[in-house]
Chains A and B, each alone.
Chain A
């Protein structure tokens, strides 16, 4: 048997197709993007090597800086608005309510629907004349709050954030719910015998034991927010006047609309590094926490 499992030809046969695809589409492009980011290149002629100039320009470019700030606002709202709602829902549902399965199933529905569909749907919700939101505000007599949600510089960003939060609350809820369900029931029995209330049990037992899942949720929320593209692309394309621009939409526009391949690649590299750094940071955050 040993010999069969050392069969070099078989190993090569099994690994070859996926290896080639991964190398070609994921690994090599990282190198290519990094190289392009050092060029002044419109995508057609020959690029001119300009060293780190693109990066220097990047950090002085107001459009880019706004997009980074907006992406961070996405991340911040995910962490401080979405995750607490998800956690609360998960805690409540898992303590044994009626219709437990029904709630889990319903809360999860938006997660599986395409973001493009969600985006188009929210565009209608935000419609100034006939959208649900303004219609609701008029119905309850808050006419002065109605506005052009996506068309106004003051509200475009928050109006793009809300659907993202809305869509993925159920995802984090499900992760946390599954996590709570996998905690041994004995722990809850013991805390009940000790006379701990649900609130105390949650704060001192469930949440601390849920840490590995919270780490996953936090990572997904932050990294996902930094990569956000679909919803902003559908709702506002980053407008008006870059009010809701995020790094992904700016990158696509820079490369494929303005034909600035080198400069756009510098943005791509920025996103790769940014995501990687955050992976490490969150990993570290939870590690030191465990020691303390």
Chain B
């Protein structure tokens, strides 16, 4: 593949390959430069950002921007809220989806086909349809402004994708192990929890990454369901921070960087896995 499809004449070849690399690096710069700029201005004061040193590395590294954002700007609090909401969302999504997948791939019952359709239906429903009805339910149960207000809809909208990815994975696992365990007298529940769940680990990683990105970055539900600072997640919190520090770019930049760090860490250590899980989510859908 590497050398397969290249033209033969060397002159035009090197010219085209120069243009090609130039374009590739130019595009890489377009994708990366704004992020580099963000990181550098998060460490600068206004005099540098607005004055002579807009693009370079900071002359004076203002780490206190981060202190300002985390403490005064409450980004630390928003961060913790995001961790709690996202963490529980991932946990619940994985457990209930694994259970549903087990029934949908292994168990035998009438209406199994219809049940499959029911689970996949969620893939095509935009969250717009749920926004007001779920808000009214939450209001009736006095759950507006709580972690539950976000966790419930995040889990619900993550389940269809998770089930789909799990079904693909579970169908490829042979049944012999479970059958042997069953003959040895294991109950269906221990077959599921002790044999199936450990086998599903790779798929669990895929689903966790996918669910993490969705919950961590979600804005529409968060804006509508949360107005109390105590429960604000990063996406809403960042909006308040930007309102509070309109002219202090350094502090806003610091908040933005903090909001992005977990995602970047996950990406740096597992870039292939992150890419694969987003591909899995798209292609099976």
Using a CB–CB distance below 8 Å, which chain A residues touch chain B? 1-2, 4-8, 10-11, 13-15, 17-19, 21-22, 24-30, 32-33, 36, 43, 89, 92-93, 95-99, 102-117, 120-125, 129-130, 132, 135, 166, 169-171, 174-175, 178, 185, 188-189, 191-192, 196-198, 201, 213, 216, 220, 223, 227, 229-230, 233-234, 248, 251-252, 255-256, 261, 264-265, 267-269, 271-272, 275-276, 279
Hey, which chain A residues are within 8 Å of B41, CB to CB? 124
- The minimal Cβ–Cβ distance linking A220 to chain B, given in whole angstroms, is 6
- The minimal Cβ–Cβ distance linking A205 to chain B, given in whole angstroms, is 10
Identify which of residues 256-279 in chain B touch chain A, using a CB-to-CB cut-off of 8 Å: 256, 259-260, 263-264, 267, 271, 274-275, 278-279
Bound CA span A42–B273, Å: 47
Whether B169 sits at the interface, judged by CB under 8 Å, is no
**A264 with B132: CB separation less than 8 A:** yes
Whether B18 sits at the interface, judged by CB under 8 Å, is no
Bound CA span A10–B106, Å: 11
Which residue from chain A places its CB closest to the CB of B109 in the assembled complex?
A11
Hey, which chain B residues are within 8 Å of A272, CB to CB? 125-126, 128-129
Q: CB-CB contacts of B135-174 with A at 8 A, as 1s and 0s?
A: 0110000000000000011011101100100000000000
Which size class do B's interface residues fall under? 35 or more
**B223 with A27: CB separation less than 8 A:** no
**B156 with A22: CB separation less than 8 A:** yes
**A33 with B283: CB separation less than 8 A:** no
User: Main SS of the interface on chain A?
Assistant: helix
Q: Which of B27, B179, B235 has the most CB of A within 10 A?
A: B27
Decide yes or no: A275 and B38 within 8 Å by CB, A1-B179, A216-B283 being known contacts. Answer: no
Whether B207 sits at the interface, judged by CB under 8 Å, is no
**A36 with B132: CB separation less than 8 A:** yes
Q: Which of A112, A115, A188 has the most CB of B within 10 A?
A: A112
Instruction: Please tell me which stretch of B58-66, B96-104, B198-206 contacts chain A, meaning at least 4 of its Cβ atoms lie within 8 angstroms of it.
Output: B96-104
Hey, which chain B residues are within 8 Å of A26, CB to CB? 121-122, 125, 129-130, 156-157
- The minimal Cβ–Cβ distance linking A148 to chain B, given in whole angstroms, is 16
Given A113-B263, A178-B275, 8 additional A-B pairs, CB 8 A: A26-B157, A32-B136, A96-B2, A96-B4, A97-B24, A191-B5, A213-B283, A229-B219
Decide yes or no: A7 and B21 within 8 Å by CB, A1-B179, A89-B27 being known contacts. Answer: no
Bound CA span A238–B278, Å: 29
Which residue from chain A places its CB closest to the CB of B51 in the assembled complex?
A130
Q: CB-CB contacts of B1-42 with A at 8 A, as 1s and 0s?
A: 111111100000000000011011001101110110110010
Bound CA span A111–B32, Å: 12
Hey, which chain A residues are within 8 Å of B264, CB to CB? 112-113
Hey, which chain A residues are within 8 Å of B7, CB to CB? 197-198
Decide yes or no: A17 and B96 within 8 Å by CB, A97-B21, A117-B259, A229-B220 being known contacts. Answer: yes
Hey, which chain B residues are within 8 Å of A105, CB to CB? 271
Hey, which chain A residues are within 8 Å of B50, CB to CB? 129-130
Which residue from chain A places its CB closest to the CB of B213 in the assembled complex?
A112
Decide yes or no: A174 and B267 within 8 Å by CB, A21-B159, A97-B20, A192-B4 being known contacts. Answer: no
**B38 with A115: CB separation less than 8 A:** no
Q: Which of A22, A104, A121, A248 has the most CB of B within 10 A?
A: A22
**B126 with A227: CB separation less than 8 A:** yes
Which residue from chain B places its CB closest to the CB of A89 in the assembled complex?
B27
Identify which of residues 38-59 in chain B touch chain A, using a CB-to-CB cut-off of 8 Å: 38, 41, 49-50, 54
Partner of B216, one of A103, A114, A197: A114
- The minimal Cβ–Cβ distance linking A164 to chain B, given in whole angstroms, is 14
Decide yes or no: A120 and B103 within 8 Å by CB, A112-B274, A115-B219, A185-B1 being known contacts. Answer: no
**A6 with B5: CB separation less than 8 A:** no
Bound CA span A29–B99, Å: 24
